[in-house]
Amino acid sequence: MKLSTFYKLFYRHRFKKANLFLKFYLILIIYFKYLINLPFIPKKTNLENEKFKFLFKKKDLTELFDYFNSDKGDFFENQYTHPIKRSKKKIKGHGYSKFYEKYFDEIKDKNINIIEIGSFYGNASAALFFYFKNAKLFAADIFPDLFSYKSSRLKNFYVDSSNENSIKKNIIQQIENNFDIIIEDAGHYLKDQIISLFLLFKKLNHGGLFIIEELDFPNKRKDMNFNNEKPTLRDILFNLKQKNVFLDSDYVNEKDKKYFLENVESIEIFKGNFNEIAIIKKR
């Protein structure tokens, strides 16, 4: 983890709200805080190490998510605090794995391409590495230096999912092959969710799955939808599913809208332990 990432994750929000005196104080302590946290920042783990071979025999995705401390599973250790403050105490996860397995089971042995947008430390990517033993995995995040795993079939890189040009440059133009599974688990902001789906749906292979986690965030959380914009992606998907009517958005052009409507096969929305997840299948 770079110093700039440490600042953006843990102090930027405080710095923006601080008065001049507090800003000076924060500047002084950030370097010190970074140094004392440095030894506790996860080191790169090679997933091809012999000691992990037993994980290929595990067929339960929930077990793999829990093993690698992903909040997609049932229980995980809080990874969103300062590294030095992390506790071994398990807290309840989103519980999405049961929905994933419903769709993943029949394709888990195939040679497929998977991308997770919003990979953070890479814990979910590590679990998927052992579940999809023949897959090539791509992990994109605004802080790629956080990523804690490596393998010859795992690549992590930078993308800003709030920026259309970044998505086009770093995913659409940079990665030649299309994907069989796209998991959007990044900022969860209204705009980010919408542009990610409608820009990247063309990068999804026929029969592929596009998954949006925390679909309901922009409907429930002010910090994910500052201006209370409508429609949210949740509004668009629910309306399309229930009434077969597309709610127009300023973030979706007519060409991308037409392509989506012509190529979407199904939209399913499930409720996890706390939030909703959408699983969209392409024709």
Beta-carbon neighbour count of residue 44 at 10 Å? 9
Tell me the pairing of strands 154-158 and 136-141: parallel
**Per-residue model confidence (pLDDT) at position 188:** 96
Residue range 32-59: mean pLDDT, rounded: 93
CA distances for 71 relative to 94, 119, 121, 264, angstroms: 6, 11, 11, 28
| pLDDT classification of 87: cutoffs 50, 70, 90 | confident
**Per-residue model confidence (pLDDT) at position 57:** 87
**Per-residue model confidence (pLDDT) at position 59:** 81
Which domains are present in the chain?
Answer: 3-39 (no CATH), 45-282 (3.40.50.150)
* Helices within 87-187 (DSSP H only): 97-104, 123-131, 164-167
Average pLDDT, the chain: 95
**Per-residue model confidence (pLDDT) at position 225:** 96
Do 175 and 144 meet the contact criterion of CB atoms below 8 Å apart? no
Residue 53 has pLDDT above 90, yes or no: yes
**Residue type, position 118, single letter:** G
**Per-residue model confidence (pLDDT) at position 182:** 98
| pLDDT classification of 204: cutoffs 50, 70, 90 | very high
Residue range 102-123: mean pLDDT, rounded: 96
Residue 80 has pLDDT above 90, yes or no: no
- HSE at residue 122, side-chain half, CA atoms within 13 A, is 27
CA angle 41, 136, 156 (to 5 degrees): 35
Least reliable range by pLDDT among 18-22, 49-53, 106-110, 186-190: 18-22
**Per-residue model confidence (pLDDT) at position 250:** 96
Residue 17 has pLDDT above 90, yes or no: no
Residue range 73-80: mean pLDDT, rounded: 92
CA distances for 203 relative to 109, 175, 231, angstroms: 21, 9, 24
Q: What is the pLDDT of residues 220-234, one digit of tens each?
A: 999 999 999 999 999
| pLDDT classification of 88: cutoffs 50, 70, 90 | confident
